Amino acid sequence: MSAGVNAGDTAWMLVATALVLLMTPALGLFYAGLVRSKNTLNTFMMCVAALAIATITWAAIGYSLAFSEGNGFIGGFDHAFLQGVDFTPREGTAIPGLLFFAFQATFCIITTALVSGAVVERMRFGPFLVFSAVWSIVVYAPLAHWAWGGGWLQAQGTLDFAGGVPVEMASGFSALAAALVVGARRDYGRQAFLPHNAVYVLLGAGLLWFGWFGFNGGSGFSVGNASILAFVNTLLTPACALATWFILDIVRARHVTAIGAATAIIVGCVAITPAAGFISPGWAMALGVVAAVPSYAVIMWRPRTRVDETLDVLGAHGLAGFVGILFIGLVAGSSWNGVADGAIYGDWGQLGEQAVAAVATPAYAFGVTFVLLKLLGLVTPLRATAYQEAIGLDIVAHGEEAYATGEGAILVAHDGAVEVEREAEREKALV
Amino acid sequence: MKLVIGIVRPEKVNDVLESLYRARVRGLSMTRVQGHGGELDRVETYRGTTVRMGLSEKVRFEIAVSDEFVDPTIDALCEGGRTGEVGDGKIFVVPLERVVRIRTGESDTSAVTPVGAA
Q: The domain spanning residue A369 has which CATH number?
A: 1.10.3430.10
pLDDT tens digits for range B30-89:
999 998 887 777 888 888 888 888 888 899 999 999 999 999 999 999 999 999 988 899
CB contact residues (below 8 A), chain B span 45-64, against chain A: 45-46, 49-56
Residue A276 lies in a domain: yes
Is A401 a member of any domain? no
Judged by CB atoms closer than 8 Å, whether chains meet at A409 and B44 is answered as yes
Q: Are strands B56-65 and B29-35 parallel, antiparallel or unpaired?
A: antiparallel
Count Cβ atoms below 10 Å from residue A332 Cβ, excluding itself. 28
Q: For residue range A356-386, what is the model confidence (pLDDT) as tens digits?
A: 999 999 999 999 999 999 999 999 999 999 9
Asked, for residue A431, whether it belongs to a domain, the answer is: no
Whether chain B has a CB inside 8 Å of the CB on A420: the answer is: no
Describe the crossing of helices A125-135 and A348-379 by its angle, rounded to 10 degrees: 140
CA–CA gap between residue A124 and residue A49 (Å, rounded):
13
Q: Which residues does chain B have within 8 Å of residue A387's beta carbon, measured at their own beta carbons?
A: 11, 83, 85
Is some CB atom of chain B closer than 8 A to the CB atom of A191? yes
Residue A22 falls within a domain, yes or no?
yes
With beta carbons under 8 A apart, name residues in chain A contacting B45.
Answer: 399-400
- CA dist., res. A261 & res. A319, Å (int): 17
CATH number of the CATH domain containing B23: 3.30.70.120
Please name the helix (run of DSSP H) or strand (run of DSSP E) that holds residue B8, with its range, or none: strand B2-8
In this complex, the residue of A387, A390, A409 whose CB is nearest that of residue B53 is: A409
Q: Do the domain assignments include residue B18?
A: yes
Backbone angles phi, psi at B42, to 5 degrees: -95, 135
* pLDDT digit string (tens) for chain A, length 431 residues: 889 999 999 999 999 999 999 999 999 999 999 999 999 999 999 999 999 999 999 999 999 999 999 999 999 999 999 999 999 999 999 999 999 999 999 999 999 999 999 999 999 999 999 999 999 999 999 999 999 999 999 999 999 999 999 999 999 999 999 999 999 999 898 888 999 999 999 999 999 999 999 999 999 999 999 999 999 999 999 999 999 999 999 999 999 999 999 999 999 999 999 999 999 999 999 999 999 999 999 999 999 999 999 999 999 999 999 999 999 999 999 999 988 999 999 999 999 999 999 999 999 999 999 999 999 999 999 999 998 999 999 999 999 999 988 777 888 876 554 455 556 666 666 65
Does residue A214 belong to any structural domain of this protein? Answer: yes
| Cβ contacts of A400 on chain B, cutoff 8 Å | 44-46
Q: How far is B51 from chain A (nearest CA, A)?
A: 5
Q: Indicate whether A409 belongs to any domain.
A: no
One-letter amino acid identity for A149? G
- Verify whether the Cβ–Cβ distance A400 to B14 is below 8 Å: no
Nearest CB among A392, A399, A405 relative to B43 is that of A399
State the total domains in chain A.
Answer: 1
Domain that includes residue A225, residue range? 7-389
Residue of B nearest to A190 (CA): B14
Count of C-beta atoms within a 10 Å radius of residue A61: 18
- State the count of interchain CB pairs (< 8 A) between A and B: 49
Say if the Cβ atoms of A410 and B51 lie within 8 Å: yes
Q: How many residues does chain B have?
A: 118
Asked, for residue B118, whether it belongs to a domain, the answer is no
Q: What own/partner pairs with CB < 8 Å and gap ≥ 24 does A281-284 have? A: A281/A229, A281/A232, A281/A233, A281/A236, A283/A327, A283/A331, A283/A333, A284/A232, A284/A233, A284/A236, A284/A237, A284/A240
Nearest to A401 among B12, B14, B44 (CB): B44
Any chain A CB within 8 A of the CB of B71? no
Residue A406 lies in a domain: no
In a domain, A14, yes or no: yes
Question: Does residue B117 form part of some domain?
Answer: no
- Give how many domains chain B has, as a whole number: 1
CB–CB contact A400 B44 (8 Å): yes
Tell me whether residues A191 and B44 touch, CB distance under 8 A: no
Asked if residue B43 belongs to a domain, the reply is yes
Nearest by CB: A410 against B12, B14, B54: B54
Contacts of B52 in chain A (CB under 8 A): 409-410, 412
Which residue among B9, B14, B34 places its CB closest to the CB of A408?
B34
Residue B104 lies in domain: 2-112
